Amino acid sequence: MTLKLTYALIAISLVCIMSMPSLLAVAASSAYSASANSSNQATSSGAVAPDYTTVHCLDCWAGWGIKVPLHAVSAVYGSWILPTVTCSSTVYTQVDFLAGIDKAPPGASSPDFEYAGVAAVCPAGGVVSFYGLEGNNSISSGSSLTPVVGDVIYASIVLSSGMFTYTVKDITHPASVTFSTSASGATRDYAECIVTMALTTIPLAKFGVTSFGQYYTDQKATCYAKVGTLLKPIGGFGAHVIKYILYNSANAVVLATPSLIGPPADKSSFKIKWLASGP
């Protein structure tokens, strides 16, 4: 993805905090490395994600996604529970909770990364605040959604008549934001439910553990993707499934990692655990 953002413009102020959606795009510009496929792994609790590929996602994101043929993804639907986020006493930190559609894995050049979700921003020595995120690498909208810890969040990106419609809803304290833009040029071969770094230059905020998918949120058909006209849970795409583990840029420290997907009949639900802020 070609991103021409000037990091020098980032200042830790209220103005900057409210402009963070337009800077989110660089999260998908980091390095990428994949390990060998793992088949039918399970835990004693029955969680399972068959035939997936594990990716070390450097300075980018953690979660689960799919890789399918070009121009095949037509929608993604996500849900999660906002966790407690602990701010650093000395540095600005941030973490974003998203459903996404994008052309290529982190590290590859891509003109598009579509996202819908919630940012948690942590001023140094301050208190976390949450706000809605919708948009892509070129344009973003929405900071009016202000949920709190424990709220169930729903997010979707839907392609229709050449337009992407991004929706974020606070289910617990009913509120929503919706935004639409042209889907022209979008390659649409990846979809994911993820926790991501906002910028490679901003440490990952400490979020403990967050839970994604319908098993935890009671939001049906979430952490699902639509490929063509086929709607399935992310874990139901077999060999197309990708497990993303968030590493630092040196590929030496795990910052966040997802659990396996489960229970097996669900195939959409998992947890993501914070381990370190980086670098």
Mean pLDDT, the chain cut into blocks of 10 residues (279 residues total): 31 33 36 48 47 89 94 97 96 96 63 90 94 85 86 98 96 94 90 92 95 97 96 94 94 95 88 92
pLDDT of residue 47: 57
For the chain, domain boundaries: 27-274
pLDDT of residue 13: 33
CATH superfamily of 27-274: Peptidase G1 (2.60.120.700)
Q: DSSP state, 50?
A: T
Residue whose token pair is 């990846």? 190
Q: Which of 50, 248, 12, 25 is nearest to 137 (CA)?
A: 25
pLDDT of residue 6: 30
Structure tokens at 263: 């229970």
Beta bridge partners, 176, equal 169
**pTM of the shown model:** 0.85
pLDDT of residue 183: 92
pLDDT of residue 106: 55
Question: Are the C-beta atoms of 265 and 199 separated by less than 8 Å?
Answer: no
Other Cβ atoms less than 10 A from the Cβ of 32: the count is 16
Question: Are the C-beta atoms of 24 and 138 separated by less than 8 Å?
Answer: no
pLDDT of residue 10: 31
Cα 223 to Cα 177: distance, rounded to the nearest angstrom = 19
Question: Are the C-beta atoms of 162 and 182 separated by less than 8 Å?
Answer: yes
Q: What is the DSSP string of 56-86?
A: EEETSEEEEEEE-STT-EEEEEEEEEPPP-B
pLDDT of residue 9: 29
Cα 256 to Cα 274: distance, rounded to the nearest angstrom = 4
Q: DSSP state, 126?
A: S
Contacts of 6 (CB under 8 A, 6+ apart): none
Q: How many CA atoms lie within 13 A of 53 on its CB side?
A: 18
Q: What is the DSSP string of 185-233?
A: T----EEEEEEE-S-TTSPBPB--EEEESHHHH--TT-SEEEETTEEEE
Residue whose token pair is 């602990």? 86
